[in-house]
Chain A
Amino acid sequence: QSVLTQPPSASGTPGQRVTISCSGSSSNIGSNTVNWYQQLPGTAPKLLIYSNNQRPSGVPDRFSGSKSGASASLAISGLQSDDEADYYCAAWDDSMNGPHWVFGGGTKLTVL
């Protein structure tokens, strides 16, 4: 059971806009920023969005992130076949047990 909750799957057709949600709590998303990672099959995760809504250089502006309260979302517009991947959200958690990074369980995006 992951600390951050993501839907296990999402899908869309080429050209569509899809969103992936990430739900947390006051100790993680509610008080810290969110990062998003894309993991293509058989490869290491790649940074997609950092600090809620910042795109690293090289990431198309089709990808955007937002955060509201203890939840965050990743939006992908103009869906393409090579967007088919697993997507993970991550945030720092100021837990009483000791601060640590937490990840969502991942969302498998299928391009139909």
Chain B
Amino acid sequence: QLHLQESGPGLVTPSETLSLTCTVSGGSISGSSYYWGWIRQPPGKGLEWIGSIYYSGSTYYKPSLKSRVTISLDTSKTQFSLKLSSVTAADTALYYCARLSPYTSSSLFSYYFDYWGQGTLVTVSS
């Protein structure tokens, strides 16, 4: 059974860089076809996708966050990481890491988030 666990500072100072790591156990992150991603949820609000990284290292980021986001893979440690620079109070949220798995049928090809971490709360405050 795949297990994902987020880790990192729970408090970040405004204008600094938020850094989180997702450790994957029970499976490999270098397996083909899977993406690994970050999603966040501000307190009391909905889900917001931040970005995803393919096993090969190619990345997709939310356009409005692209200038501040970097997602990277460390296959040797079965981890992937999120860096979000120049944070403000608006970046305060519960941050989730998740796996994107492919689905193929005769007429469709799609992805879905199947495994999620439990989430880690990051507060941006001085």
Contact = CB atoms under 8 A, between A and B. Distances in A.
Interface in B44-62: 46-49, 52, 60-62
Interface residues of B, number: 25
A11 B116 CA distance: 27
Contacts of B112: 35, 47, 50-51
A79 B84 CA distance: 41
B61 A51 contact: no
A84 B107 CA distance: 34
A37 B113 contact: yes
A6 B112 CA distance: 19
Interface of B: 37, 39, 46-49, 52, 60-63, 66, 96, 103, 105, 108, 110-114, 116-119
Contacts of A95: 63
Contacts, number: 68
Contact of A103 (B48, B63, B111, B116): B48
Interface residues of A, number: 29
Interface in A83-112: 88, 90, 92, 95, 97-106
Contacts of B117: 44
17 contacts: A33-B108, A33-B110, A35-B110, A35-B112, A35-B113, A37-B113, A51-B103, A54-B103, A88-B46, A88-B47, A90-B49, A90-B113, A95-B63, A98-B60, A101-B37, A101-B52, A101-B62
